[in-house]
Structure formats: structure tokens, C-alpha cells
Amino acid sequence: MDFILVMVGILKGSFMFLSDLARRTTIPLEIEFMSVSSYGAATESSGVVRILKDLDTDIVGKHVLLVEDIIDTGNTLTYLMDYLKGRGAASVEIMCLLDKPARRTKELSVKYVGFQIPDAFIIGYGIDYAEKYRNLPYVATLREAIYRSTN
């Protein structure tokens, strides 16, 4: 079987990063999306991962690259790696724009990392706070007074 790469963007936060990444990729690929939740409307993960939108295509024998905006605890990606391997993917790797290793609670192998960052509340370039700020063309730190006053 030929090498088939499937980039799987984790919605909603990865959409800008995935779009830029796909435009720069020179090998044939398929693009898919999944939507998962472990946060709800909160700023802290509940720890329970729910798949809200699953893949639309079969990944048996294909190489999957999970494209994520930001990794905190690693709980969601650990779950997704096991889930996609169970669906027959030939391999599953992770690429993230931003990684917060200080927040990690799960052992997680992240093959491709854009930037390691400290534990700060990040917005912009697809990353939101309460569905706001995704459209910013840059990554920024949200002032604590903004997200503490609404929780």
C-alpha cells in the first residue's frame, strides 16, 4: 500500500494552523477533522473526553497526523491516539503549535512541536476564550483579570 497521510485537525482550535500547514505540505494528503470536548465552557479540563464529530473517512492502513493547537494535560490526545490506533491507522503521530509541558498529566509522545510555552492562558490564531479571539492573526496571552472575572 502507498504511504497515505491523513492530517486530522482537532476542531475548533487547530483550523488556522492546519490550513497553513497543509498549504506548505508537498506530499499528497487527505484532510479530516474531529471535534472533541473535555472542557465544555470551563477553562479547566473535566478529564472526560467526548467525541462530538468523528472522522468521515476510513483510516485503516493510513498514517495519521493529529494536528492540535495547544497541548495542556495531554488527556485528550492520549485518548485520541488510542482511539485512532484502534480504528486501524498504520501510525498515529502528534503535531502541535504550542505545548505546555508543565501542565502534562499524561505520558504523551509529541513528535512535532512548534513552540514550548509556559503555563499561560493563550488566545489567537484559532485558539479561543469563550469562542472569542480565534480570528486574531497572532498568538497572545489573555490577561487573568478577563478570564477570572467570568468564571
Mapped onto helix, strand or coil, the DSSP state of residue 47 is: coil
Q: Which residues contact 18 (CB under 8 A, 6 or more apart)?
A: 7, 9, 31, 67
Residue 2's pLDDT is what? 84
Residue 20's pLDDT is what? 98
Does residue 112 contact residue 98 with C-beta atoms inside 8 Å?
no
The CATH number assigned to the domain with range 5-148 reads: 3.40.50.2020
For the annotated catalytic residues, the residue numbers are 72
Separation between Cα atoms, residue 63 and residue 3, nearest integer Å: 7
Separation between Cα atoms, residue 122 and residue 115, nearest integer Å: 12
Does residue 75 contact residue 45 with C-beta atoms inside 8 Å?
yes
- Is the model's pLDDT at 147 over the cut of 70? yes
pLDDT tens digits, one per residue of 82-140: 999 999 999 999 999 999 999 999 899 999 999 999 999 999 999 999 999 999 999 99
pTM: predicted TM-score of the whole model, two decimal places: 0.89
Residue 1 is classified by DSSP as -
Q: Which residues contact 24 (CB under 8 A, 6 or more apart)?
A: none
Cis peptide, bond prior to residue 12, ω within 30 of zero: yes
The cell for 25 is 505540505
Mapped onto helix, strand or coil, the DSSP state of residue 65 is: strand
List the domain boundaries for the chain: 5-148
